[in-house]
Chain A
Amino acid sequence: MRPENYEAQSQPPSYDYELNIGPNHPGIEGNYAFKLRLNGDRVIAGRADAGYLHRGFEKLMEGRLWIQNLAITPRICVPDPVPMEVSYCLAVEDLCGLEVPERAQWLRVMQLELSRIAAHFFIFGGHAATTGMYTPMFWGIADRDLILDLFEEMTGGRVYHIYNIPGGVRRDLPDGFGERVTHTLNYLESRLPDYDNLLFTNQVFVHRARGCGPISQQQALEWGVTGPNLRATGLKFDVRRDDPYLVYDQLEFEIPTEDPGDAWARALVRRRELKESIRIIRQVVARLPTLAGPIRCPIPNPLAWNVPAGSTYTRVESSKGELAWYVVSDGGERPYRTHVRGPSQMHAVQVLEQLAIGCRIEDVAQIMFSLDACPPEVDR
């Protein structure tokens, strides 16, 4: 239309309407619905709707042997499954009073940190895709795949490893695995400047992510936010350092923090954490050859294993935040009760509902991905 022919028309007044995002959409790593109430393109209110991935794991685990439950635990969180199995094993070991051999503890740390790197690459890609940039998404998935190759060699499984058992790990590293890990880490580290150029200093991303879904430190503490989302508000808290498990107290690593608390800060914290995880794995690779010895301690016949009565609460730091198991045994061969506290149970429900208020519709998916919400953890 030529400008002289243009006549401004009175627009119909913005109206309230409802929009269902999900259960399938790019803003989250699984099936999860978010029901929005909008005025024009502003969100007035949002309501999380879970349950599409409910598999009743806690109930299932009450009916299975302690050792059989190992096959269930990693499936609770698909992108970052390792902390689930490690924390469940820590709980059983705590109940039985088992001493895990040192070599097994270092192997677990290696597996945990590799999983953290894989999860963070996944999130870089996902977060970039919600701002319309698809190249980092393909890069992220491709680089994550290199870690999955390492997992396949180390554990036999790519996504679900079931590598840990109460008392240690299933098998030792194959020959020459340390060099291959170092090689992959060197490659991934050399890729980080590319990610910086393409994503983290890209003005499209910076402008979209800055100021998007901000959380203040006080709000984060109020809402029970943990993990990178909490560190993005400036609080230096990490379960690995403040409530140490395995051999994390013998490792050197920084806990990156940022102050703004918005999507941009959350992305940066993950980017810097990735570098720290690489540093941790290098220490593990250097240390492992000096640690001879068994990789698991003797356990009773796992098919007739009565775990002593008691209860325990074990916490680990997953890539999304504080992950905890409350496990109760009545002295039987099956758990009496298991309760998993996934970090997303906080930031994917209440926090998301709060942050969505007042933002624009195109930022909703970005907020969801920048919080690193994991629906399988919420549904269990």
Chain B
Amino acid sequence: MTNELTTWLDTLLAELDAISVRRTSRRRLRVEVASDALPALLELLRGRASFVHLSAISCVDWIDAGQFELVYHCWSYEIQSLVSVHTRIPREPGVYISVYDIYTPAAFFERDIHEMFGVWFEGSPDLSRFILTEWDGPPPMRKDFDSEAWVNQHFGWQDYHPDWLKNLEARGGGIAVPPDEQRFSRRTVDET
């Protein structure tokens, strides 16, 4: 039964246009599709092919190509197979369509991606801040966000040199870290 269904799914997907399908293992299928065809494909997967479980939506920032890659992982309890649907959208302006009306769990993942990557999902029920409630900087998971520079700009450094350490050093002990081995470079956002 499972094998029949799997074959049927492969045939179904092979008939669609503008889509590339690759079976990476027995239970994994990698599908690449244009961004305007993705909602229709998910609709088909859920409604016609029993892929009722949206396991996750992952976002990858391909900064050199100027694109965000969105990956929708859908699982079918009947076929026992996982389809990863890959699509790419332009990094600017980073707007896409919500699939909340197809998969309810998408609301969480879209909210998360909006917060971490700044992608706006048209029609998502709630894109308010969730984890980074008081954050006012750029979306931190983008590749062009430099955490170290951000820290240097927004937080002060304090040299930890208490009296007990000074006493220790006066007696020839202590730990001296040479400047070129210090981990944090103390560069700021403007210098980068």
With A56-B147, A326-B71 in contact, do A224 and B77 touch (Cβ < 8 Å)?
Answer: no
Q: Mark A344-357, 1 if CB is under 8 A from B, else 0.
A: 01100110000000
Most A CB within 10 A of own CB, among B55, B140, B141 = B55
Contacts of B77 in A (CB 8 A): 221, 235, 237, 242
CA A272 to CA B81, docked complex, whole Å:
27
- Residue of B at shortest CB range from A336? B60
Decide: B55 and A223 in contact? CB cutoff 8 A. Answer: no
Decide: A51 and B131 in contact? CB cutoff 8 A. Answer: yes
Decide: B58 and A346 in contact? CB cutoff 8 A. Answer: no
Say how far B95's CB is from chain A's closest CB, in angstroms: 21
Decide: B82 and A313 in contact? CB cutoff 8 A. Answer: yes
Size class of B's contact patch? 20 to 34
**B contacts with A: majority SS:** mixed
Q: Which of B12-20, B103-111, B156-164, B171-179 contacts A (4 or more CB under 8 A)?
A: B103-111
Contacts of A63 in B (CB 8 A): 147
CA A243 to CA B73, docked complex, whole Å:
14
Size class of A's contact patch? 20 to 34
Flag whether B54 is at the interface (Cβ < 8 A): yes
Q: Mark A163-190, 1 if CB is under 8 A from B, else 0.
A: 0000000000000000000000000000
Decide: B131 and A54 in contact? CB cutoff 8 A. Answer: yes
CA A54 to CA B132, docked complex, whole Å:
8
Decide: A326 and B27 in contact? CB cutoff 8 A. Answer: no
Say how far A249's CB is from chain B's closest CB, in angstroms: 12
Contacts of A346 in B (CB 8 A): 105, 108
CA A311 to CA B30, docked complex, whole Å:
10
CA A341 to CA B112, docked complex, whole Å:
11
Decide: B80 and A243 in contact? CB cutoff 8 A. Answer: yes
Which listed residue, B55, B84, B132, touches A341 by the CB 8 Å rule?
A: B55
Contacts of B56 in A (CB 8 A): 313, 324, 326, 339, 341
Which listed residue, B80, B104, B109, touches A242 by the CB 8 Å rule?
A: B80
Most B CB within 10 A of own CB, among A221, A313, A341, A349 = A313
With A56-B140, A328-B60 in contact, do A315 and B130 touch (Cβ < 8 Å)?
Answer: no
CA A346 to CA B58, docked complex, whole Å:
15
Q: List 6 A-B contacts (CB under 8 A).
A: A54-B132, A223-B105, A224-B104, A243-B80, A311-B71, A350-B105
